[in-house]
Amino acid sequence: MNEEQIEIVTEFEKIANNMLAGVDSKLSAFRVETQRTIKERTARVPAAIAGFNTDRAIESPGARFVSSSEFQTWSSSPGQRGRVTLAAPFTKATALTNATVSPRAARIGEIMPMPTLPPAVVELVNWRPIGSGSTVEYLRESARVAPGAKSQLGEGALKAEQTVAVELIAQAIQTIAAWTSVSTQALADTSQLMRFIDEVLTASVLAEIDRQVLNGIGDAANELVGIVPNAVPYNVALTVTGDGPLDIISHAQAQLYASGVVATAVVLSPADAELVRLVKDVNGTYLWGAPAAGAPASVWGLVPVVDANLASGFLVGDFTGRSIELLLREEILTELSREHADYFTKNMCAIRTEARAANGLYRPSAFVTGTFPATPPATLAANRK
């Protein structure tokens, strides 16, 4: 290699080294910026409440509202006229999530919301967004049709036809909302406003949706179509002498299985959940599980759910999307405005949270509801025949 070639190679190596150094510098800067962005955004995300789908932690509706540019612009404008409207994802498990905040030390007399029981059934079912319109339509099986498959009676013979009995169901989309008033002080304290939206208004809307999904009587009363009024009654003939609550839950599960339905969960009223928890054997051992161990993950393979909106008894059924879905026409919407009555002169604001939904009860026959005996046996082992 002559001197000219050596000089060319040396120059090439110098250029290559400079390019690599530039790439390393840019990669390092990108890495620092990415880590900063992740840290900044993570700080804004509250942890999900314990329960179903805890991996879906996002900002709560209240956190989204107070951090939105719409609210920031409105709250900083002179006179604070007009209104603020913000739609937020109405997701399960995160709808009641509270961000970790530090109340302002100068704030006194703030409202401390009463604790609310978390909605249970609406956390159990699938939520499906739907398109435009004031009603939703779907086809559902109107009657159980026996399998119609048969062996072909020779080559060229007509094969058996499987009949299907279906009906078109049309349900009105219901608007479920709650509103209240807030003071100027509450607006100045964004942590208080966020908590108010999450723990009062959003909780109220979710609780009412949960109640209607369980007990609603349909369009005539401007309510969602409920599961319990349309479920199959428990066949009391299945109960035998000495049966307790756990036996009856198993009977209800078997009743559904005989009709071709595999149950996935059992919903209990608070009083009946305690009735089941306190069942003992002849040795005084709790059958549900030791008190120190907490509630079991399943009962006869079913997910146990306690819901205060169920007045009494039990509901056993298939809570998957094959049988039921909560159909969301509009996600949660929160609006804030001074333009109500004399609120402008009183330094008050009206704040409203609402959602539009229908209950897609695809298979009412996939649910069995009933009650336990008024005086269950003290023990099962001693009374079981």
pLDDT at 237 over 90: yes
**DSSP code of residue 49:** P
Q: Output 51 or 244, whichever has higher pLDDT.
A: 244
pLDDT in tens, 187-236: 777 777 787 788 888 888 999 999 999 999 887 778 999 999 999 999 99
Q: Output 38 or 382, whichever has higher pLDDT.
A: 38
Centre a 10 Å sphere on the Cβ of residue 113 and count the other Cβ atoms it contains. Answer: 11
Residue by residue, DSSP assigns 65-114 as: HHHSHHHHHHHHSTT--SEEEEE----TTTTT--------TT--S---PP
Q: What is residue 239's predicted lDDT score, i.e. its pLDDT?
A: 92
Strands 324-337 and 126-129: parallel
Q: Of all residues in the chain, what percent carry a pLDDT higher than 90?
A: 29
Q: What is residue 42's predicted lDDT score, i.e. its pLDDT?
A: 46
Cα(267)–Cα(317) distance, integer angstroms: 9
Average pLDDT over residues 63-88: 71
User: pLDDT-based confidence at 370, cuts 50/70/90?
Assistant: very high
Q: What is residue 12's predicted lDDT score, i.e. its pLDDT?
A: 67
Q: What is residue 93's predicted lDDT score, i.e. its pLDDT?
A: 47
Cα atoms found within 13 Å of the Cα of residue 157, Cβ hemisphere only: 8
pLDDT at 309 over 90: yes
Cβ neighbourhood burial of 79 (10 Å; 0-12, 13-18, 19+): exposed
User: pLDDT-based confidence at 302, cuts 50/70/90?
Assistant: very high
pLDDT at 78 over 80: no
Cα(65)–Cα(92) distance, integer angstroms: 18
Q: What is residue 90's predicted lDDT score, i.e. its pLDDT?
A: 58
Average pLDDT, the chain: 77
Q: What is residue 257's predicted lDDT score, i.e. its pLDDT?
A: 95
pLDDT in tens, 23-32: 566 666 666 6
Average pLDDT over residues 248-275: 94
- Residues contacting 193, CB < 8 A, separation 6+: 62, 65, 66, 182, 186, 187
pLDDT in tens, 104-136: 444 444 556 666 666 789 889 999 998 878 889
Q: What is residue 234's predicted lDDT score, i.e. its pLDDT?
A: 97
Per the CB < 8 A criterion, the answer to whether 338 and 81 are in contact is yes
Q: What is residue 276's predicted lDDT score, i.e. its pLDDT?
A: 85
pLDDT at 369 over 90: yes
Average pLDDT over residues 63-74: 79
Q: What is residue 381's predicted lDDT score, i.e. its pLDDT?
A: 40
Q: What is residue 57's predicted lDDT score, i.e. its pLDDT?
A: 44
Q: What is residue 83's predicted lDDT score, i.e. its pLDDT?
A: 67
Q: Of all residues in the chain, what percent carry a pLDDT higher than 70?
A: 72
Alpha helix ranges (H) inside 158-232: 184-188, 190-196, 203-215
pLDDT at 254 over 60: yes
Q: What is residue 71's predicted lDDT score, i.e. its pLDDT?
A: 78
Average pLDDT over residues 294-315: 88
pLDDT at 56 over 50: no
